[in-house]
């Protein structure tokens, strides 16, 4: 495994591709945004004018795109435009780390399988900090053979690599996780503001809750209250990180998944409504911890 094509160099993809370079892989890159490509070229990557050119004759392709429609069109192409499945070698392993609906992931995996190509869904958890540090959790849906083939590539970008099941299983596990994360973020925000309204210092309250029964990942790693924690989006006007629009997308995916199986997800449904309102108020491109302002702003 030597050469990897990386397509989608945004908040997550950029640092993930940089870690592949650090691990010694040759990395071909493409993004729709030229500045995103330039940043990776400075670090040693090779730029291409299209995703299909970048992906020819490589050992693995990694994609990190916004949503299912981007993944489907990139891999499957259009009537008059080749997709990645039309150009890659049969022994190239295709790894999609975007968070998308499981049905789209299964569709691409099946069409790849018809051409004898292995495609795995490998969405991630750990945020932009995890992407930069190379400590992401990868949650994979794949055959055993495809998982084994992709593992060395994933290990260069992550600390925990899980095989959740067959095609689509990675995406199901990921949206369950993000639905829970949104509920924790909303709950943590309202608890912190309640304490502040009663005169508590949010730093002290956070320390107390972190080691008490309300302790959770948002308090440990991603406090939503400004100036409680350094180097998190809440202390940088909620810039960078994980956009509200992407959380709205993931919560939509979890609700669609719940409809398919008639599952009851009332907390996820409420969190989706809160995040949709937040996005409609113009916060779509800010970090998802900015939901705190729904409770703090008068």
Residues that bind ligand NAD (CB under 6 A): 7-13, 30-33, 36, 51, 64-66, 70, 74, 98-99, 124, 127-128, 241-242, 246
By beta-carbon proximity to ligand NAD, the closer residue of 231 and 264 is: 231
Residue pair 37/31 in contact (Cβ under 8 Å)? The answer is: yes
Phi and psi at 292, nearest 5°, equal: -50, -35
d(CA 151, CA 174): 18
Closest CB 86 distance from ligand NAD, rounded Å: 15
What kind and span of H or E run contains 205? Answer: helix 202-210
Spatial separation of the C-alpha atoms in residues 26 and 48, rounded to whole Å: 13
Nearer to ligand NAD, 30 or 295 (CB): 30
Q: How many residues does the chain have?
A: 298
- Rounded to a whole number of angstroms, the minimum distance from the CB of residue 183 to ligand NAD is 17
- Residue 101 main-chain phi, psi, to 5 deg: -70, 145
Q: Are strands 124-125 and 136-141 parallel, antiparallel or unpaired?
A: antiparallel
Q: Which residues are catalytic?
A: 174
Name the residue number minimizing CB distance to ligand NAD. Answer: 10
Residue that has been written with the tokens 């916004």 in this structure: 66
**Beta carbon of residue 178, minimum distance to ligand NAD (angstroms, whole number):** 8
Q: Which is nearer to ligand NAD, 169 or 205 (CB)?
A: 169
CA distance 113 to 141: 14
* CB 287 to ligand NAD: min, Å: 8
Instruction: Please check whether residue 99 is in contact with residue 246, taking contact to mean a CB–CB distance below 8 angstroms.
Output: yes
Strand pairing of 118-121 and 124-125? unpaired
Closer CB to ligand NAD, residue 165 or residue 240? 240
Q: How far is the CB of 213 from ligand NAD (least distance, A)?
A: 27
Which residue number, 156 or 243, has a Cβ lying nearer to ligand NAD?
Answer: 243
What phi, psi does 7 have (nearest 5°)?
Answer: -120, 125
């Amino acid at each position: 495994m030597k050469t990897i094509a990386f397509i989608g160099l945004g908040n997550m993809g950029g640092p993930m591709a940089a870690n592949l370079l650090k691990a010694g892989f040759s990395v071909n890159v493409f993004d729709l945004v030229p500045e995103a490509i330039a940043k990776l070229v400075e670090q040693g990557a090779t730029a291409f004018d299209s995703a299909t050119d970048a992906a020819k004759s490589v050992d693995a392709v990694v994609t990190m795109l916004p949503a299912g429609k981007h993944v489907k069109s990139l891999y499957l192409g259009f009537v008059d435009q080749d997709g990645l499945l039309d150009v890659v070698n049969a022994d190239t392993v295709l790894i999609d780390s975007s968070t998308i609906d499981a049905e789209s992931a299964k569709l691409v995996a099946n069409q790849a399988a018809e051409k004898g190509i292995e495609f795995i869904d490998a969405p991630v958890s750990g945020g932009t900090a995890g992407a930069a540090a190379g400590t992401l959790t990868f949650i994979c849906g794949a055959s055993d053979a495809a998982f084994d083939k992709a593992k060395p590539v994933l290990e260069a970008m992550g600390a925990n690599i899980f095989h959740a099941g067959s095609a689509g299983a990675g995406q199901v596990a990921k949206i369950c996780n993000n639905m829970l994360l949104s509920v924790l973020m909303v709950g943590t925000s309202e608890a912190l503001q309640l304490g502040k309204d009663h005169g508590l210092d949010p730093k002290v309250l956070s320390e107390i809750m972190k080691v008490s029964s309300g302790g959770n990942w948002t308090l440990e790693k991603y406090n939503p209250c400004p100036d409680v924690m350094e180097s998190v989006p809440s202390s940088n006007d909620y810039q960078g990180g994980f956009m509200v629009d992407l959380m709205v997308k993931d919560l939509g995916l979890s609700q669609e998944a719940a409809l398919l199986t008639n599952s009851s997800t009332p907390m996820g449904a409420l969190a989706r409504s809160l995040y949709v309102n937040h996005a409609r108020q113009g916060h779509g491109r800010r970090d998802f911890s900015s939901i705190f302002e729904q409770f703090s702003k008068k």
